[in-house]
Amino acid sequence: MGQNHVVRIQCVDKKGLIAQITGILFENNHNVLVMKEFVEQSTNTFFARLELSGQLNASHLELALKKILPAEAEVSIIPVRKKKIIILVTREHHCLSDLVVRFHFNELHAEIQAVIGNHADLRTFTEKMGIPFHHIPYPALNAKEYESSVLRTIEDYAPDYLVLAKYMRILSPSFVSRFKNRIINIHHSFLPAFKGANPYKRAFERGVKIIGATAHIVNNDLDEGPIIAQQTIGIDHEHELSDMIEAGHEIEKSVLAKALQHILEDRVFVSGNKTIVLD
């Protein structure tokens, strides 16, 4: 039978691309379950994601596609399987527990290999659910040693993605560059409003009537990476700061779960500082 594959293509747009791509698939007798494509006008870039069923020789198909695609086209052919992820946390549980419960009940399209916390608050819950928890305290180490320790812990697992689930430390450029487009963060504001620290407090003081949450890919500009998904919720003058935080938690976990699902299903393309999500 063989397993399903996702084919991802990102290249300069040119006339007839779809005809040529689907032509090759047809000639080779591949069964296309679903195809989504998009041309970004501002950069003249073509994006496509296809799901194929049945047996497939990946290197042969990649070669055939590259032959008809523009030079420097990025093509990847990915067998559909659960991705491996590591979750980094600090003290707040809501994003972690949401993902862990989905994992426990086999609804997360990923294996949570481990959780790393700079505090130990979430150890009990994580271990109860059968997932290794590594406590790497930040204040006990200097910043460089801390990050090396985190890195060593991660490397043993060789994860596909890192998920920052209300992880409150800033990662260094050298750390981030090791996981290019592979670190997903949840920021507790409707970016670009309230970048940086204490967004709820600043939203409360500003008197906004809606708050938001943003899941994005981490790059080296704080809270400036490509946005995958956002969500908002209405509030009013009756919301004390603590009520805003409570309301915000609901959308934080929801938007992170949604963004992560897009990532895990290989639907997210990065174009400059934007994402194209082919769902």
Q: Find the part of the chain contacting a copy of itself (CB under 8 A) among 34-42, 67-75, 156-164, 168-176.
A: 34-42
By CB under 8 A, how many residues form the interface with a copy of itself?
59
Of 141-200, binders to a copy of itself (CB under 8 A) are 190-194
Beta carbon nearer to a copy of itself, 19 or 170: 19
* Least distance to a copy of itself, CB of residue 105, Å: 5
Q: Find the part of the chain contacting a copy of itself (CB under 8 A) among 4-12, 56-64, 78-86, 230-238.
A: 230-238
CA 13 to chain centre: 26
Please tell me whether residue 41 binds a copy of itself under the rule CB under 8 A: yes
Q: Are 44 and 10 in contact (CB under 8 A)?
A: no
Q: Which of 2, 3, 31, 120 binds a copy of itself (CB under 8 A)?
A: 31
**Which pairs count as long-range contacts for 28-31, CB under 8 Å and 24+ apart, including other chains?**
28/61, 28/64, 30/54, 30/56, 30/61
CA 227 to chain centre: 10
CB hemisphere CA count around 62 (13 angstroms)? 14
* Least distance to a copy of itself, CB of residue 170, Å: 20
Tokens describing residue 3:
């397993």
223 carries an active-site annotation = yes
Strand partners, 74: 10
* Least distance to a copy of itself, CB of residue 195, Å: 10
User: Which among 24, 69, 17 has a CA at the least distance from the CA of 39?
Assistant: 17
Q: Which of 82, 128, 144, 201 binds a copy of itself (CB under 8 A)?
A: 128
H runs (alpha helix) in 31-132: 58-68, 94-104, 123-128
Determine how many CB atoms are found less than 10 A away from the CB of residue 181.
17
Please tell me whether residue 85 binds a copy of itself under the rule CB under 8 A: no
Catalytic positions are 223
* Binding stretches for a copy of itself (CB under 8 A): 15-16, 18-20, 22-23, 25-26, 31-32, 34-35, 37-41, 93-94, 97-98, 101, 104-105, 125, 128-129, 190-194, 206-210, 212, 226-232, 234, 236-238, 240, 250, 254, 272-277
